[in-house]
Amino acid sequence: MSEAHVKTQIEDLKTLLNQYNYEYHVLDKPSVPDAEYDQKLHELIKLEQEHPDLRTDDSPTQRIGGEPIEGFEKVQHRAPMLSLGNAFNEQDLRDFDRRVRQGVGGDIHYVCELKIDGLAVSLLYEEGRFVRGATRGDGTTGEDITNNLKTIRSIPLQLNQNITLEVRGEAFMPKASFEKLNQTREQEDLEPFANPRNAAAGSLRQLDPKIAAKRNLDIFVYGAGLYEGKNIGSHSESLSYMSELGFKANPEWRRCTSIDEVIEYVNGWVERRSDLNYEIDGIVIKVDSLDQQDELGTTVKSPRWAIAYKFPAEEVITQLEGIELSVGRTGVVTPTAHLKAVQVAGTTVKRASLHNEDLIREKDIKIGDYVVIKKAGDIIPEVVNVIEDRRTGDEQDFNMPENCPECDSELVRIEDEVALRCINPKCPAQIREGLIHFVSRNAMNIDGLGEKVITQLFNENLIQDVANLFELQRDELLKLERMGEKSTDNLLHAIETSKVNSLERLLFGLGIRHVGAKAAKTLAEHFETMERLQNATLEDLTAIHEIGEKMADSVVLYFEKPEVDQLIEHLRQVGVNMEYKGIKRSEVEDVDSPFNGKTIVLTGKLQQLSRNDAKAEIERLGGKVTGSVSKSTNLLIAGEDAGSKLTKAEKLGIEIWTEEDFITELNN
């Protein structure tokens, strides 16, 4: 058989199998028995094994799952994946409608869609072929999970048209697949997943795609971050067009002509949500017109043209089996209810917050009580009240201990506070929690140092304070469980990189009482160096507009401690930066640049700078970066593959620069 004939056979089989797959997993209307599909797939596998040079990434055989990978690479989305603001009641929806009407003139139509409780992903297609899939991540940068996403059979590997676009969707695990997976895990003595969302996220972050392939995930697409070569005027048109291309869009969406229709749609699904074979946690409402979306624009985090209605909290009854105590990084001892496992708002709940001793007394909570548990969205479950009619007399009162459950030091109640505190600076729990805070995203942001790794390092006596993190040795880490050569090298690189962080990250990471991330930035910008802040008086601190007396007191008391002096000196010796590297407001106001005071949009793929670096440079020079083009936009900087934003900027007569123009101006 000639090579050309084999190639034709392979292409014919791929086309046929893709069609069968689309009919089964997207349309839910299979045209052939499973045995026929399996037979054709086996023929294709055999041909590709005999002719490996003819195997392509869009072949149906690639859905089986390839070889395991060592880790996920970070990738940048071509357009940001923004989060949505929330609505919790009818008034919130009417307020959203009022803001939209104030922002744009003319008729407003909305599109309502079910809010799938899964994992948001981005799918990139080039010339009709699926080339990359990524998690949402921080909205700008996600993790490349292409091989795992290929195992979801409702994701087309080849579109019906050779178009380039970036599609957003929600990957999820159907209820039946979730129940089957947990049954298998329990048989294997593994911890069951708490809910389908966690199961879906865990499946897509497996390093071995074969595991994801076994878990029967599905997806609904809900929007496109980038179209090229196609003029789309509305979101409803976009949903219909994506279905034409071969994507699976949720069929329950509806176009509404008023906010009253939206509320009717929402109320209907509050009652019917349990009838679905997948979990939803709300309704997403979007302005239909894309021009109106652009006119409304976005905030830093969320679009002004969309909102997520979150379903009301669910309440259930379960038994309180015990009360556990934990010690936080500030020494506060917090009681937590240990519950008989129960499903609340789609989640298996075993614990609920009790906040403090006063709340336990106020609600007359006893160990053994039947209690009402409430959970709303991602909020930690709480105990609403006790069912006194169910008491048998065997319930036990709970009393807070006099000593710390971790170090046995005497607990104290500081004046005007309800919480009990351990004030022993050597308390292991406080040290451990402080270390976890120090490496967190808003603090030193050391990738790879999660809670489990910190706990392991602490228990192995490799770290006792934050400065020890910068003295970790490769041979020490390699001896730890689950620390291979690559993960060890990555961790050491992340620790080394964090040394150059600007001062505000270090200040926030130190965990000074009352000093949050915003206050840390204010202090770092004002004093510029750690040494100046250490020597600041109460008067120096309260003279800063954003710093109150309570916070100033806390900062002065913190730096008066000899052990803090020693820690700061230790951090300085291991090479941690002690200076502010950010933009000073006075510099931004006075800067002489073509960006100063202008609203700027970045679009397309930049080659010489990352999107975040370009944004930082513009802001340093006094400009403001937004995500959408409107009449108020002063300048658009267009990289490669610039799409609809470039077209709109041209129509509005907005000044347009290439990346080379931008780099030249920066160099000047």
Residues tagged active-site = 115
The CB-side HSE value for 131 (13 A sphere, CA atoms) comes to 13
Q: What backbone torsions phi and psi does residue 268 show, to the nearest 5 degrees?
A: -65, -40
Tokens describing residue 52? 């490996």
User: How far is CA 148 from its chain centroid?
Assistant: 18
Determine how β-strand 332-344 pairs with β-strand 599-603.
unpaired
Q: What backbone torsions phi and psi does residue 140 show, to the nearest 5 degrees?
A: -105, -40
Scored b (16 or more CB within 10 A) or e, 476-485 reads ebeeeeebee
Query: Which residues are CB-contacts of 407 (< 8 A; sequence separation ≥ 6)?
Result: 422, 424, 426, 427, 428, 429
CA distance 611 to 638: 11
Alpha carbon separation from 667 to 593, 662, 664 (Å, rounded): 12, 9, 5
- Residue whose structure tokens are 């595991």: 211
Is residue 382 within a helix (H) or strand (E), and if so which, with residue range? strand 382-386
Alpha carbon separation from 388 to 222, 239, 369, 385, 481 (Å, rounded): 47, 52, 8, 9, 48
- What is the residue-wise DSSP string for 599-614? EEEEESB-SSS-HHHH
DSSP annotation of 62: G
Give helix then strand counts, H and E, for the chain: 25, 22
| Greatest CA separation for the chain | 89
Tokens describing residue 21? 């797959």
CA distance 491 to 240: 45
The CB-side HSE value for 639 (13 A sphere, CA atoms) comes to 15
Strand ranges across the sheet with 218-227 = 129-135, 119-126, 165-172, 218-227
Query: Which residues are CB-contacts of 354 (< 8 A; sequence separation ≥ 6)?
Result: 323, 334, 335, 336, 337, 360, 365, 383
Alpha carbon separation from 646 to 2, 597, 626 (Å, rounded): 48, 21, 14
CA distance 128 to 159: 5
